[in-house]
Amino acid sequence: MKVNWILYGRVWHAWARGDEQTLCHKVTSEKLQRKPAKAISEEAPTKSQCSFCRRILLPTTRAWMVIINRHLERVRGRLAIDTHVAIAERLATIGPPAEQRAINAYSYVRDLLLTPQVRSNKHGKPYHTFTGIADALKLLPLEDPSKLQHVIASADLWQRITGRALSRDKRFQRPRAIETMLEIPFTDMGAYIRYLRDAGLTNFAAVFHPNTLERVKHSGSMRAAFDKDNADYWEETKEQLNVIS
Ligand SMILES: [Zn+2]
């Protein structure tokens, strides 16, 4: 991507050629008409770079932003720039889009975070929104990529055990489902999902609902799974995991 740097106020921002605004969206062509840039440079400035523009310029973050953008166009959804970047940066912790593993992970992130809900405004006109996405991202901090990995691996396990597709189970509340997933240790995840499946419960929203988790914790046959002192149970689980993998 070719960018020019413009000095606006005291900060240098990056401006991709052909765009209507800086990468960070802080300076637009409209703003420039009212108040021109102090300087323009093709070279990256050595100081006073906008930290947000710099984050967006990181190649892996940028590559994920392009992929997310294509998806947003397809579902006609809109994201605030900081949310867009936040998701791209989290995906970058897994790898670049050129890696199959990262693309697989992306499909779960897309289904978990980027499936818009259709709502109606007060005039009855439908619009697309990503409810709860900011709270969901707070549960998946950039500094701790293991949280995102746990959620992705759990969603994958849920699909394989239940035979359902996350892209079709759309009626879940994002932060609530993610918070519940994070409460279940991954070593227990398979047992938890299988237990519910055998009881006839497979829907994503129901499986990863705090009430369901509470109920399972107190049921006799699964209590052991959440009792960390039960050594026999852990041995047994480890064996089962070996058989499965
Ligand atoms: Zn900027």
DSSP state of 141: -
Report pLDDT digits (tens) over 198-238. Answer: 999 999 999 999 999 999 988 876 766 666 555 555 455 55
User: Would strands 117-120 and 126-129 be described as parallel, antiparallel, or unpaired?
Assistant: antiparallel
Q: What are phi and psi of 42, to 5 degrees?
A: -85, -25
Q: Which of 179, 175, 169 is nearest to 206 (CA)?
A: 169
Q: In the prediction, which pLDDT does 217 show?
A: 87
Q: In the prediction, which pLDDT does 245 show?
A: 36
Are 157 and 208 in contact, with CB atoms under 8 Å apart? no
Ligand 1 centroid–CA 53 distance in Å is 4
Contacts of 36 (CB under 8 A, 6+ apart): none
DSSP state of 38: S
Task: Give the span between the Cα atoms of 115 and 117, in whole angstroms.
Answer: 7
Q: In the prediction, which pLDDT does 69 show?
A: 95
Report pLDDT digits (tens) over 131-159. Answer: 899 999 999 999 999 999 999 999 999 99
Ligand 1 centroid–CA 206 distance in Å is 42
For residue 53, how many other CB atoms are within 10 A of its CB? 23
Q: Which of 180, 166, 156, 183 is nearest to 112 (CA)?
A: 166
Ligand 1 centroid–CA 26 distance in Å is 6
Q: In the prediction, which pLDDT does 244 show?
A: 41
Mean pLDDT in residue range 179-189: 95
Report pLDDT digits (tens) over 80-115. Answer: 999 999 999 999 999 999 999 999 999 999 999 999
Ligand 1 centroid–CA 55 distance in Å is 9
Report pLDDT digits (tens) over 1-54. Answer: 789 999 999 999 999 998 999 999 999 999 999 999 999 999 999 999 999 999
Q: What are phi and psi of 105, to 5 degrees?
A: -60, -40
Q: In the prediction, which pLDDT does 223 show?
A: 67
Are 7 and 22 in contact, with CB atoms under 8 Å apart? no
Ligand 1 centroid–CA 87 distance in Å is 18
